[in-house]
Chain A
Amino acid sequence: MSADVSDLSLVRRVQRGDKGAFDALVLKYQHKVVKLVMRYVRNPAEAEDIAQEAFIKAYRALPQFRGDSAFYTWLYRIAINTAKNAVVSRDRSPIDFDLDLQNPDESYDMQGRLADKETPEALTLTDEIRSTVNAAIEALPEDLRMAIVLREIEGLSYEEIAESMGCPVGTVRSRIFRAREAIDRRLREVFEGGLGRAEELG
């Protein structure tokens, strides 16, 4: 299986004018990009702002993306450059969010939005999701747990997992899917109406 095929399918759709396909790319890589940016910026809220800027830059640059490299490699490069520029820019202006006298409303909104993102509720929700997922993984049968861990933590391909578990690739695909479904059920039970609320409100 050639890598990056699914990303490339989505990228080609975006290049032909399908914005919905770009949503799928953002959803897939948002956590990874934020985590990457947090190597440069420790504040999660600031990291998300930089990630947002990186995604927008990537969208605007997509017509030039030829697919010579994997999409995520290309995206990560944009994110790193955006983070570096943000750090340089921040260092030049010591007061991050000074009141803009020309546009006080917008300046106030910016400060309020950033402050809101760092609420204890948001951090608590993240902890709850993490503990629920970990508990769901622990409750999985051994073969499903092994498959999802090798995939998500070790980053192995289905073929590599099949080799290490001594089973066909089709079985690996089925095990990973069943593991995800089991975890997803737990998540939806715990956060009925909660998970996804931020997306809806956003």
Chain B
Amino acid sequence: MNEELDSQLSAMFDDELPEDQCQLLARRLSRDDALKARWRRYAVIGAAVRAGRADGQPTVRLETNLASRVSAVLSTEPALTGVPAAETRKTAGMRWWHPVVGGAIAAGVAAMSVLWIRGDAPVGVGAQLADNAAASVAVSGLRAEVAADTSAPDSFVVPTNVQRNRIVPTAELANYVVAHSEYSAPAFRRNLISALIASNEGTAGVVDESDDANVVESPAENVEEEK
């Protein structure tokens, strides 16, 4: 028997072995009969030392087959397979906020898409699509804002070519939507992708289409494949 191993076993018996070594030794202890026998003798020695001082107390039998009896009873039972309660509690604690985070991300995507559409698409189409997107995630504040946008002004001049500032580049937004598609409803994804395509078609003469159009097509196809 390895002396270092025995020394570690002695320290483990006294709860004085570092945790990482304990885990390794616990694994070996549960399978190695020689090591288990030594562990048992350490327990007998401790009990004998303590019994030597307990005059007048009823004697605990030092040589007992109690462990074998317990083992025999438990051998008929299935092994425990459950995750420790502490870990279960941790996991359960983390699980509750998953839908919340999903909802928050979906709302974030919706808000960004609304802002982008307002900044990039023609006014009428953008308002309509943004309204659809807002409805799907119930962002009432945004809806009100969009509704205000759609109200007809007293007089206006429609410029033939308007170069609007884009808040979010098309490619980035499309990639974001696809990457987080698991958190958004299918109907919303469909609306948003349609909006992206429509917006590119509608602004084809205004915005440089060479890059954006290609980038938008690709994720749109991916989404369709996913469905």
Contacts and interface: CB of A to CB of B under 8 A. Distances in A.
Contacts of A65: 84-85
B149 interface: no
Contacts of A130: 48, 51-52, 62
Interface in A91-131: 117, 122-123, 125-126, 129-130
B64 A198 contact: yes
B223 interface: no
Interface string A150-173: 011100011000000000000001
Nearest to A3: B15
Contacts of B111: none
Interface residues of A, number: 88
A56 B73 contact: yes
Contact of A15 (B66, B68, B84): B84
B64 A24 contact: no
A14 interface: yes
A38 B63 contact: no
A30 B30 contact: no
Interface string B50-89: 1111000111111111111111111101011111111001
A30 B66 contact: yes
Contacts of A44: 58-61
B84 A66 contact: yes
Contact of A48 (B48, B57, B66, B79): B66
A15 B82 contact: yes
A173 B64 contact: no
Interface stretch (B5-13, B123-131, B159-167, B202-210): B5-13
Given A176-B14, A198-B64, A5 B49 contact: no
Contact of B49 (A9, A10, A15, A149): A149
Contact of A13 (B7, B26, B51, B52): B26
Interface stretch (B37-45, B99-107, B134-142): B37-45
B50 A152 contact: yes
A47 B58 CA distance: 11
Nearest to A54: B70
B173 to A, nearest CB: 45
Interface residues of B, number: 67
Contacts of B29: 10, 20-21, 24
A184 interface: yes
Contacts of A68: 86
Interface stretch (B16-24, B114-122, B186-194, B211-219): B16-24
A6 B30 contact: no
A106 to B, nearest CB: 15
Interface of A: 1-24, 26-32, 34-35, 38, 42, 44, 47-48, 51-52, 55-56, 59-60, 62-68, 117, 122-123, 125-126, 129-130, 132-134, 137, 148-149, 151-153, 157-158, 173-174, 176-177, 180-181, 183-184, 187-188, 194-202
23 contacts: A5-B17, A9-B19, A15-B84, A19-B71, A21-B29, A27-B36, A31-B44, A47-B60, A52-B66, A52-B69, A52-B70, A59-B77, A63-B84, A63-B85, A129-B44, A130-B62, A134-B48, A158-B14, A173-B10, A176-B11, A177-B10, A180-B10, A180-B42
Given A17-B80, A30-B66, A130-B51, 10 more contacts: A5-B15, A23-B70, A27-B36, A31-B44, A34-B66, A38-B58, A67-B86, A122-B61, A153-B49, A184-B45
